[in-house]
DNA sequence: CGGGTCATTGACAGCACTCAAAGAGCGTGG
DNA sequence: CCACGCTCTTTGAGTGCTGTCAATGACCCG
């Protein structure tokens, strides 16, 4: 069986409705769209955070750099995800399009204004920030205490959950991106994936190494020690 | 010169006023106090988060455990700090008193209620969560990409900023706690501190290794690569 | 004074990193 | 259509930073 899947991910159910910010309910809010080419910067660290973004299609990486070039990716943003929510100050990450990516833009100012009077919007802003916090907390455990195999297993399970529900994962990001997300080198990531392939936990589909099918999620979960 | 300093830290200016939750302004809010002995659990991971806490005196560690016992401390909470703010669901960390610690308790339910009508309280809840998120994001960079020496330098600078403004740091936590915060072993932490001592960056005061004086903050900062 | 906890230091091991080479995939243009 | 260059991935060999194991020393408290 040969399945051909592009790096484009189908939109997920969640949306700006999560913020209570549909154009219908709040006509003030402008919902412009913009497309970024593969590899281009959407915003830089310490730039003023005038906009909040939602991925319509494509994928985005958010990262910090040390002065000597070491990079830590804090999160990947896939179709449907909202990112760049920095509570009105400045961006704490640099955001780049991993592949050609279309985003929707929301003015932070308008969000803030609505949150002032609408308690539900305020609650949703808080719960979205809390989700980001929870992800970061889990990721600290991974970065501080997990082995390379556990990290890669955890990554594959996370992507399996977040990418399309179908059985083939089309990863938009490179091995280097994965490595910088997991606090490893790209060689170590590649070796771990090869090892999982040898174990029969996953297989490759088509003619690229970016399309992975998980053959044994249970074994994969057992390789990622849970907290 | 011999200076004697206890592990008790003087209260910092910030308080529950940061949440707009003084007893004067909101008499609904109950502000009970409770004292935990050194090493005792304040709450466990996945327990319902009925209360929010503020450290009056002492110190607290928040951590996650893997099933085989590996531990990742996500944060230390010192005098004045608010912790256990989980957005009303369940706690995502276990919290333990590092030394004998007195906390103030606030019912989450009452906070939530007030936030519903008072936009300022809601804003403060959000900005407090954002602070926690920012700390976690910076810590991901440390855990994923910094060397052991950089981590220890960063830790000392963080504690220098957060503990008393005076020139002697009385660290309440053990080397093991520091190691589990920095994603290292206690031996590596000890070696790094010894190395910094050899470099003349820090000195020990009194008869314990928990009291550290920073002799050259600039050099210390240069050892922790900035982002 | 004695037992327990905590910190330091040394010797050695191992997991992940570095450096390097080869293979695979992809786009472009002749 | 294939050749070519470029990027990305895989794999190997060797190194090194941090972890492991162990012993000693310092401190605390009853």
CA distances from A65 to A43, A46, A125, A201, B184 (A): 14, 12, 27, 33, 21
| pLDDT tier, B109 (very low <50, low <70, confident <90, very high otherwise) | very high
The overall longest dimension of chain B from CA atoms, in Å, is 57
Rounded to a whole number of angstroms, the distance between the first and last alpha carbons of chain A is 37
pLDDT recorded at residue A23 = 45
Domain residues for the domain of B69 are 16-143
Report CB contact under 8 Å: B137, A225.
no
Whether B6 has a pLDDT exceeding 80, the answer reads no
The answer as to whether B7 is a domain residue is: no
Mean pLDDT, to the nearest integer, of A48-63?
Answer: 97
Residues B41, B116, single domain; the answer is yes
Which residue of A lies nearest to B113 if distances are taken between CA atoms?
A119
Look at residues A122, A143, A164 and tell me which one is the last residue of a structural domain: A143
Residue A112 reports pLDDT greater than 80? yes
* D7 C1': nearest CA residue: A174
pLDDT for res A29: 54
Task: Rounding to the nearest 10 degrees, give the CA dihedral for residues B91, B93, B95, B98.
Answer: -170
Give the span between the Cα atoms of A164 and A170, in whole angstroms: 9
Of B120, B143, B166, which closes a domain? B143
Query: B87 and B194 share a domain?
Result: no
By C-alpha distance, the chain A residue nearest B181 is A144
> How big is the A-B interface in CB pairs under 8 Å?
122
Q: A32 — phi, psi (to 5°)?
A: -75, 155
Q: Which residue is nearest to nucleotide D26 (CA to C1')?
A: B208
Please tell me the predicted confidence (pLDDT) of residue B194. Answer: 96
Looking only at the bridges linking them, the beta strands covering A51-57 and A82-83 are antiparallel
Residues B97-105, mean pLDDT to the nearest whole number:
96
Return the DSSP state at A19.
G
Average pLDDT over chain B, rounded to an integer: 88
On whether both B30 and B77 belong to a single domain, the answer is yes
Nearest CA in chain B to A88: B127
Q: Which helix (H) or strand (E) holds A60?
A: strand A60-65
Q: How far is CA A133 from CA A75, A127, B14, B198, in A?
A: 11, 10, 22, 38
> In the predicted model, what is the mean pLDDT of residues B52-60?
96
Percent of chain B with pLDDT over 70: 87
Q: What is the Cα–Cα distance from B219 to B227, expressed in whole angstroms?
A: 17
DSSP string, A126-168: HHHHHHHHHHHHHHHHHHHH--HHHHHHHHHHHHHHHS-SSSE
Q: What's the pLDDT score for residue B84?
A: 97
Number of domains in chain A: 2
Q: Looking at the structure, do residues B25 and B96 belong to the same domain, yes or no?
A: yes
Average pLDDT of every residue of chain A: 88
Q: Which residue in the set B72, B87, B180 is minimally distant from A126, CB to CB?
A: B87
Q: Which residues contact A165 (CB under 8 A, 6 or more apart)?
A: none
Q: What is the mean pLDDT of residues A110-138?
A: 94
Which parts of B155-217 are beta strand (E)?
A: 168-170, 202-204, 211-214
Determine if strand C comes within 7 Å of the CB of B187.
Answer: yes
Cβ within 8 Å of residue B52, ≥6 positions away:
B82, B83, B84, B85, B105, B106, B107, B108, B111
Does B132 or B13 have the greater pLDDT score? Answer: B132
pLDDT at B132 over 50: yes
Cβ within 8 Å, pair B64-A141: yes
- How far apart CA B50 and CA A15 sit, in angstroms, is 30
Report residues 194-223 of B contacting strand C, contact meaning Cβ closer than 7 Å: 194, 209-210
Whether residue A5 lies inside any domain: the answer is no
Q: pLDDT tens for residues B133-150?
A: 999 999 999 999 999 999
Q: Which residue of A67, A122, A140 is in closest CB contact with B136?
A: A140
SS3 B92: coil
- Reduced to 3 states (helix: H, G, I; strand: E, B; else coil), residue B152 is helix
Reading the block at residue B64, the tokens are 């996650």
Residues B34 and B108 in one domain: yes
| CATH code of the domain containing B189 | 1.10.10.10
Residue A183's contacts (CB-CB under 8 Å, 6 or more residues apart) are: A72, A142, A143, A151, B143, B144, B145
**Which residue is nearest nucleotide D27, judged by alpha carbon to C1' distance?**
B208
Assess whether A133 and A163 both reside in one domain.
no
Mean pLDDT, rounded, for A181-203: 97
Tokens of A70: 């070491």
Residues A182 and A80 in one domain: no
Q: Establish if B8 belongs to a structural domain.
A: no
In a domain, A8, yes or no: no
> Residue A19: its pLDDT value, please?
55
Contact of A163 with A212, CB cutoff 8 Å: no
Handedness of CA A160, A164, A168, A173 (dihedral sign): negative
Does A153 map to a domain?
A: yes
Residue A135 and residue A157 in one domain: no
Question: Is the predicted pLDDT of residue B5 greater than 70, yes or no?
Answer: no
At residue B8 the predicted structure's pLDDT band, cuts being 50, 70 and 90, is: very low
**B73: helix, coil or strand?**
strand
Strand partners, A212: A169, A204
A227 pLDDT tier (thresholds 50, 70, 90): confident
CA distance A79 to chain B (A): 22
Statement to judge: residues A190 and A211 lie in one domain: yes
Whole-number pLDDT of residue A2: 32
Residues B166-192 pLDDT 10s: 788 999 999 999 999 999 999 999 999
Do both A137 and A150 map to the same domain?
no
The minimum CA-CA distance between A223 and chain B, rounded to whole Å, is 12
Rounded to a whole number of angstroms, the distance from the CA of B5 to the nearest CA of chain A is 32
Query: Any CB–CB contact under 8 A between B126 and chain A?
Result: yes
Q: Going by C-beta distance under 8 Å and a sequence separation of 6 or more, which residues neighbour residue A13?
A: A80
In a domain, residue B5? The reply is: no
Is B149's CB less than 7 Å from nucleic acid strand D? yes
Measured between CB atoms, which of A123, A137, A144 is closest to B92? A137
Q: Which of A18-22, A27-31, A113-117, B68-72 has the highest mean pLDDT?
A: B68-72
Would you place residue A206 in the very low, low, confident or very high pLDDT band (cuts 50, 70, 90)?
confident
> Do the chains contact at A125 and B127, CB–CB below 8 Å?
no
Residue A84 belongs to domain with CATH number: 2.60.120.10
Give me the mean pLDDT over the A190-215 stretch: 92
Do residues A167 and A130 both lie within one domain?
no
Q: Report yes or no: B37 at the A interface, CB cutoff 8 Å.
A: no
Does residue A5 register a pLDDT over 80?
A: no
Domain end call among A97, A127, A143: A143
Residue B206 pLDDT level (bands cut at 50, 70, 90)? confident
Domain assignment of residue A173, yes or no: yes
Q: Is the CB of B87 under 7 A from strand D?
A: no
pLDDT at A14 over 50: no
CB contact under 8 A, B126 and A92: no
pLDDT at B9 > cutoff 80:
no
Residue B29 has a pLDDT of 54
Chain A 197-216 residues in 7 Å CB range of strand C: 207-209
B49 and B94 share a domain? yes
Predicted confidence (pLDDT) at residue A77 exceeds the cutoff of 90 = yes
Q: Mean pLDDT lowest for which of A81-95, B26-40, B126-140?
A: B26-40
Q: What is the pLDDT of residue B20?
A: 52
């Amino acid at each position: 069986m040969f399945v051909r899947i592009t790096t484009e991910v189908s939109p997920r159910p969640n949306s700006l409705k999560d913020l209570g910010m549909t154009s219908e309910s709040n006509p003030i809010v402008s919902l412009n769209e913009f497309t970024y080419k593969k590899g281009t910067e959407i915003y830089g660290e310490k730039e003023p955070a005038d906009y909040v973004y939602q991925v319509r299609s494509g994928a985005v990486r958010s990262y910090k750099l040390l002065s000597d070039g070491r990079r830590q990716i804090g999160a990947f943003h896939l179709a449907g995800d909202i990112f760049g929510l920095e509570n009105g100050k400045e961006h704490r990450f640099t955001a780049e399009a991993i592949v050609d990516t279309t985003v929707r833009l929301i003015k932070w100012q308008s969000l803030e204004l609505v949150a002032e009077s609408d308690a539900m919007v305020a609650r949703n802003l808080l719960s979205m920030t809390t989700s980001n916090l929870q992800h970061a907390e889990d990721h600290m455990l991974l970065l501080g205490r997990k082995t390379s195999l556990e990290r890669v297993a955890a990554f594959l399970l996370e992507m399996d959950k977040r990418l399309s529900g179908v059985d083939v994962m089309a990863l938009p990001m490179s091995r280097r991106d994965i490595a910088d997300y997991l606090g490893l080198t790209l060689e170590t990531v590649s070796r771990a994936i090869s090892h999982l392939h040898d174990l029969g936990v996953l297989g490759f589909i088509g003619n690229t190494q970016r399309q992975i099918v998980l053959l044994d999620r249970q074994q994969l979960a057992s390789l990622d020690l849970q907290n």
